[in-house]
């Protein structure tokens, strides 16, 4: 121990150690904001929430540690089904966003140049200049019974009376896809931009059809962008609260709505925390399964996209 | 015999149908003409090079042949059939791209087998053919390795194998050696030529590097500003360049601006702008008395002597002061300044060792024959008259 200490002192006194100490200090100073952010805003609340979720209320101000709150989730079909529905809808929204976003991203990345490209890219950003709440209300104005679409259809004589297009799954889906589009298009444009045009030409030159080129060259190249876009869109949809509630109405049965009502309406923080943790765990599991199915790894995806 | 004759004639004409033929092909981008009325034909098994400075329209021409660009006018025939309406994935030509364009998402075997897969060849056949073609380019047994594990020269060979496995009528190569370092480039020049004669496929090779074109090609077209300046063998281009551009672009040359004093047949007497009298031969452009001309002399055509009487009778020459000696082994050069006119001459150092002790500032006699002096009418037009 003594020998070790004196050796360190020796190195420190002779320059070499000084430099490394200094660079270490710089490193920690640079890391400090990130670490403070991670610890105070993410780790601490989650630890707190976890502790709350493990409390079972057995009397007035009497608690014991148990998994009872988690059991409630698995024993009550409503909770279960709501989660399954939320996950299923989010996966569908992700697939739809990919289906619509990919051609858009391909067009922006490969078929336009210079100013047109920048303009189109910025146009994808424009919806995000207004708040999510306002955007969603915009959809409500379009879709409600006395809204724009309903009136236009009546004016054209395609329907006889007013039509209600709000408060159904299609309305939720529209809102989710609209809200997520940017988060799919940006990573896709970035990866597709990095695809060398001569690879596509080489594909044609070797006799491939457009479909074969899409399948064998473009999609494999864009895979990191597809995966990261899908993860982000899926997580955003799953965790979305405003869109499903506003466009889907009271019975939208979205899991975040369930968590909200446990915390705010019922003051059942224990169950709410347990739901929060279940959402975290189950969504991570779905992403993990998705990555395994598409044979991608998270480090690879994040490194490239 | 009587029945066999038409068959014989047909087979004769068949073998004479060129693999590739361009008829007055042009390409304009907006109002800029990148390729102007280019016509040529390439017989089967030829190594055909298109040589020209960058920006002269080589890639545009090649991309029209491959089908990635549509000619503004003109016709394009492969094995006698017009392919203007054939999309690139149906044309019987393959292209080796400037940066090779190997697919990084596939291993080497999948890269080489890509074209066969598109044709719907079955898996075992693909595997066999891929292995065979890789062996032919000297890369047997690498099919399962990723593309990134190969060196530059090996990638080059994979790119060629990927095309050759499809047995194209014409292989197009767009400056494929440009990305390699000098030493490897020298090596690949020889290797490419060997591969070409081994596969006996028609190669259309474009480059801006004259030594690549000279070493490898059976036929070379020199291209400038969208037109072919001259088409011929390497020897013809080097010894009988038909335009001033070719004389200056292919090989090294000393260039003088001069005015014609008198013409006698092809024999031309001139005086350079610096006041030196020269004799040369008309390169076929019919120069006349009073014309402004460009005069070209190869550095190796000039002889050196310590004795003025020996070089004096050659026809052209004089005495010069050694300005500089650029030592480069067998390719060493001497920069002389003519004492009378002050003109600078670039002279290949004779390899006999006779002039090894020459140093800067020495004065030496030099001269060359009028036959080695080629005269072209200059773009500047005529003086006087
Ligand atoms: N798609 C295009 N649009 C407009 N101009 C082009 C296009 N492609 C090539 N050019 C122009 O045509 C000329 C010839 O280009 P290129 O064929 O690439 O020359 P090289 O391969 O000989 O260097 C250049 O001046 C280039 O700017
Ligand atoms: Mg080029």
Any atom of ligand 1 within 6 Å of the Cβ of B8: no
CATH 3.40.50.300 fits A70-304, yes or no: no
For residue range A32-43, list pLDDT tens digits in order.
988 998 888 888
Residues B159 and B143 grouped into a single domain: yes
Residue B57 lies in a domain: yes
Beta pairing partners, B374: B281, B296
Residues B141 and B274 grouped into a single domain: no
Task: Please answer whether residues B296 and B374 qualify as being in contact, where contact means their C-beta atoms are separated by less than 8 angstroms.
Answer: yes
Residues B315 and B345 grouped into a single domain: yes
Residue B6 lies in a domain: no
The dihedral built from the CA positions of residue A19, A24, A30 and A32, taken in this order, carries a sign that is negative
pLDDT of residue A11: 43
State the CATH number of the domain containing residue B281.
Answer: 2.40.50.100
Burial of B222 (0-12, 13-18, 19+ CB in 10 A): buried
The answer to whether the Cβ–Cβ distance between B163 and A204 falls below 8 Å is: no
The answer to whether the Cβ–Cβ distance between B166 and A204 falls below 8 Å is: no
Confidence of residue A194 (pLDDT cuts 50, 70, 90): very high
Residues B237 and B263 grouped into a single domain: no
Helix/strand/coil for A137? helix
pLDDT in tens, chain B (385 residues): 344 444 444 444 455 789 999 999 999 999 899 999 999 999 999 999 999 999 999 999 999 999 999 999 999 999 999 999 999 999 999 999 988 999 999 999 999 999 999 999 999 999 999 999 999 888 988 999 999 999 888 999 999 999 999 999 999 999 988 878 888 888 888 888 998 998 899 999 999 999 899 999 999 999 999 999 999 999 999 999 999 999 999 988 999 999 999 999 889 999 999 888 999 999 888 888 988 999 999 999 999 988 878 887 888 988 999 999 998 888 889 999 998 888 899 999 888 888 888 889 999 999 999 999 999 998 655 443 3
Task: Please answer whether residues B54 and B210 qualify as being in contact, where contact means their C-beta atoms are separated by less than 8 angstroms.
Answer: no
- Domain end call among B244, B265, B287: B244
Name the nearest CA neighbour of A84 among A73, A70, A99: A73
Residue B8 lies in a domain: no
Residue B11 lies in a domain: no
Q: Which residue of A has its CA nearest to B114?
A: A206
Backbone angles phi, psi at B169, to 5 degrees: -70, -40
Show the domain range for B373: 252-382
Query: Which of A191, A195, A207, A209 has the most B C-beta neighbours within 10 Å, making it the best mutation to test the interface with B?
Result: A207
Residues B82 and B168 grouped into a single domain: yes
Phi-psi region of A195 (alpha: psi -120 to 50; beta: other; left: phi over 0): beta
Any atom of ligand 1 within 6 Å of the Cβ of B27: no
State the CATH number of the domain containing residue B174.
Answer: 3.40.50.300
Name the nearest CA neighbour of B294 among B368, B340, B243: B243
Helix/strand/coil for B69? coil
Residues B101 and B61 grouped into a single domain: yes
From chain B residues 158-197, the ones with a CB under 8 A of any chain A CB are: 162-163, 166
pTM value > 0.90: no
Residue B4 lies in a domain: no
Residue B9 lies in a domain: no
Residues B239 and B287 grouped into a single domain: no
Residue B76 lies in a domain: yes
Query: Which of B29, B65, B86, B89 has the most A C-beta neighbours within 10 Å, making it the best mutation to test the interface with A?
Result: B89
pLDDT of residue A8: 45
Q: Residue B97 carries which DSSP code?
A: B
Domain boundaries, chain A: 2-53, 70-304
Task: Please answer whether residues B246 and B223 qualify as being in contact, where contact means their C-beta atoms are separated by less than 8 angstroms.
Answer: no
Backbone angles phi, psi at B176, to 5 degrees: -70, -15
CA dist B310 and B317 (Å) reads 11
Domain tally for chain B? Answer: 2
Total residue length of chain A: 305
Residues B179 and B112 grouped into a single domain: yes
Q: Which residue of A has its CA nearest to B95?
A: A205
Whether ipTM > 0.85 holds is no
Residues B86 and B42 grouped into a single domain: yes
Kindly state the percentage of chain A with pLDDT values over 90: 35
Residues B272 and B240 grouped into a single domain: no
Residue B90 lies in a domain: yes
Least confident stretch, A16-25, A245-254, B242-251, B262-271: A16-25
Residues B180 and B308 grouped into a single domain: no
Burial of B64 (0-12, 13-18, 19+ CB in 10 A): buried
pLDDT of residue A303: 57
Mean pLDDT over all residues of chain A? Answer: 85
Please give the distance, rounded to the nearest whole angstrom, from the Cα atom of residue B207 to the centre of ligand 1. 14
Residues B178 and B68 grouped into a single domain: yes
């Amino acid at each position: 121990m003594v020998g070790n200490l004196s050796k360190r002192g020796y190195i420190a006194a002779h320059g070499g150690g000084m430099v490394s100490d200094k660079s270490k200090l710089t490193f920690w100073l640079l890391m400090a904001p990130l670490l403070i952010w991670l610890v105070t805003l993410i780790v601490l609340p989650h630890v707190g929430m976890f502790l709350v979720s493990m409390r079972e209320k057995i009397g007035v101000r009497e608690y014991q540690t148990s998994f009872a709150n988690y059991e409630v989730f698995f024993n009550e079909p409503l909770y279960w089904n709501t989660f399954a529905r939320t996950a299923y809808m989010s996966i569908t929204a992700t697939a739809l966003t990919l289906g619509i976003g990919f051609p858009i991203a391909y067009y922006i990345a490969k078929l336009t140049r210079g100013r047109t490209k920048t303009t189109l890219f910025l146009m994808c950003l424009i919806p995000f200049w207004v708040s999510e709440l306002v955007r969603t209300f915009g959809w409500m104005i379009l879709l409600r019974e006395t809204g724009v679409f309903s009136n236009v259809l009546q004016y054209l004589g395609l329907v006889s009376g007013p039509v209600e297009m709000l408060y159904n799954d299609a309305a939720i889906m529209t809102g989710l896809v609209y809200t997520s589009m940017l988060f799919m298009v940006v990573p896709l444009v970035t990866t597709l931009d990095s695809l060398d045009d001569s690879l596509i030409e080489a594909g044609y030159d070797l006799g491939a059809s457009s479909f074969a080129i899409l399948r064998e060259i473009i999609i494999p190249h864009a895979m990191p962008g597809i995966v990261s876009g899908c993860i982000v869109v899926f997580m955003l949809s799953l965790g979305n609260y405003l869109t499903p509630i506003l466009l889907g109405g009271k019975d939208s049965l979205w899991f975040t709505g369930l968590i909200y009502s446990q915390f705010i309406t019922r003051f059942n923080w224990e169950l709410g925390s347990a739901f929060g943790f279940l959402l975290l765990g189950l969504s991570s599991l779905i992403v993990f399964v998705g990555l395994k199915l598409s044979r991608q790894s998270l480090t690879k995806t994040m490194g490239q996209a | 015999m009587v029945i066999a004759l038409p068959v014989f004639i047909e087979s004769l004409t068949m073998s004479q149908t060129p693999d590739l033929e361009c008829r007055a092909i042009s390409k304009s981008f907006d109002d800029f003409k990148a390729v102007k009325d280019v016509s040529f034909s390439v017989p089967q098994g030829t190594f055909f090079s298109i040589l020209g400075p960058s920006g002269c329209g080589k890639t545009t021409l090649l991309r029209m042949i491959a089908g990635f660009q549509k000619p503004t006018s003109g016709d394009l025939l492969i094995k006698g059939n017009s392919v203007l309406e054939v999309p690139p994935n149906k044309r019987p030509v393959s292209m080796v791209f400037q940066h090779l364009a190997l697919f990084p998402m596939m291993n080497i075997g999948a890269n080489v087998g890509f074209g066969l897969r598109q044709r719907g060849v079955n898996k075992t056949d693909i595997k066999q053919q891929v292995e065979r073609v890789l062996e032919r380019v000297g890369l047997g047994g690498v099919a399962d390795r990723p593309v990134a594990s190969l060196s530059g020269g090996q990638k080059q060979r994979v790119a060629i194998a990927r095309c050759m496995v499809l047995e194209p009528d014409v292989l197009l190569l767009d400056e494929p050696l440009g990305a390699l370092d000098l030493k490897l480039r020298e090596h690949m020049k020889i290797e490419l030529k060997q591969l070409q004669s081994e596969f006996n496929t028609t190669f259309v090779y474009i480059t801006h590097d004259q030594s690549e074109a000279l070493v490898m090609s059976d036929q070379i077209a020199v291209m400038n500003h969208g037109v072919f300046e001259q088409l011929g063998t390497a020897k013809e281009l080097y010894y009988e360049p038909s335009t001033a551009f070719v004389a200056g672009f292919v090989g090294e040359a000393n260039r003088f601006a001069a005015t014609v004093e008198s013409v006698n047949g092809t024999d031309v007497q001139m005086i350079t702008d610096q006041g030196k009298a020269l004799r040369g031969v008309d390169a076929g452009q019919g120069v006349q008395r009073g014309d402004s001309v460009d005069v070209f002399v190869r550095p190796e055509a000039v002889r050196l002597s310590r004795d003025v009487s020996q070089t004096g009778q050659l026809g052209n020459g004089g005495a010069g002061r050694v300005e500089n000696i650029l030592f480069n082994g067998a390719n060493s050069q001497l920069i002389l300044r003519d004492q009378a006119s002050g003109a600078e001459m670039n002279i290949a150092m004779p390899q006999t060792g006779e002039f090894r002790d020459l140093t800067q500032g020495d004065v030496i006699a030099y001269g060359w024959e009028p036959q080695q002096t080629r005269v072209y009418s200059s773009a500047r037009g005529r003086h006087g008259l």
